[in-house]
Amino acid sequence: MTKEATKMSDLSDVTRLVNPEEVTDERVKQIFEQLKQGFGKVLPAYRAKGLVDDPEFMQTYHSLIMNKFTPKNIDFKTLMLLEFAADVAARWEYCVVGAYQMCLAAAGVTPEEVNKTIKLVSATVGLSYLEAGFNVFSDEKKNETDFTRLVEIDEVTDERIKKMYEEVKQFFGKVPEIYRVKCLLDDTDYLQTFHDALMVYTRPEALDVKTMHLICIVVLTIMRNGGAVQRHIDAAIKTGATPEAISEAIRGCYVNGAVFSTSAGFAIFGYPKE
């Protein structure tokens, strides 16, 4: 066997999904039993041989996940909606399916609430892309004079845009910076189309406004859009969310990142290994 083939063989063994019945380490066996009680099965994200062979890391990994799923300041239903939203935002389809099943089976989430969450996530991700492209949270924006500069609100005279500003403040609590980018203000038809879609996605139908802002906080944390996270933190507090609940929602993103990275690194959902 060549060195390259040996390396691939070693990697394949590290990423192999271990049958729970093969586990002999008592710490890992105890974790697997807890998973069966909580999720009805041992999740694939726990079964990579590289994890099973490192009980100390497995214990830490497991403790973080269990801590997330025993919330102190967020009800379990909202927690599962946040988990579902995080998975959708990260486009991690396997986890999306798992979170969807848990939402309906264990958390009492309705299909209408799932539907609304998907639409809200899509709008939030799209808005975040625009904000990144136009770099709206850069400290250098104050000195820019080109087409991406932020126009002061009191400089706007177009009545259509003024109406948009009043409408968008009802959800965000303020005029988002993206609405002040000069090239967008110069293309009122596009801004109107963008605005109309955003207003539909953020309309509080199946979800209350506080939950919607918590979802946006989680999605934007995963997107690493700090400026927009702060905007929704301010709005969430105004709609009744406590600092403790917001902190718990953000801390949960660490677990999402750990699970996403571990699953990707061990190619847990990449190909059949059993």
Helix, strand, coil % over all residues of the chain, rounded to 5: 70, 0, 25
Write the single-letter amino acid at 254: Y
* SS3 state at 150: strand
Where do we find the tokens 């955003």? 198
Q: For the chain, 274 residues long, give each residue's pLDDT as a single digit of tens.
A: 455 444 444 556 788 889 999 999 999 999 999 988 877 888 888 888 988 999 999 999 899 888 888 899 999 999 999 999 999 999 888 788 888 888 888 788 999 999 999 999 999 999 999 988 888 877 665 555 578 888 999 999 999 999 999 999 999 989 999 999 999 999 999 999 999 999 999 888 899 999 999 999 999 999 999 889 999 999 999 999 999 999 999 999 998 888 888 877 877 665 444 4
Burial of 224 (0-12, 13-18, 19+ CB in 10 A): exposed
C-beta of residue 133 within 8 angstroms of C-beta of residue 107: no
pTM (predicted TM-score): 0.84
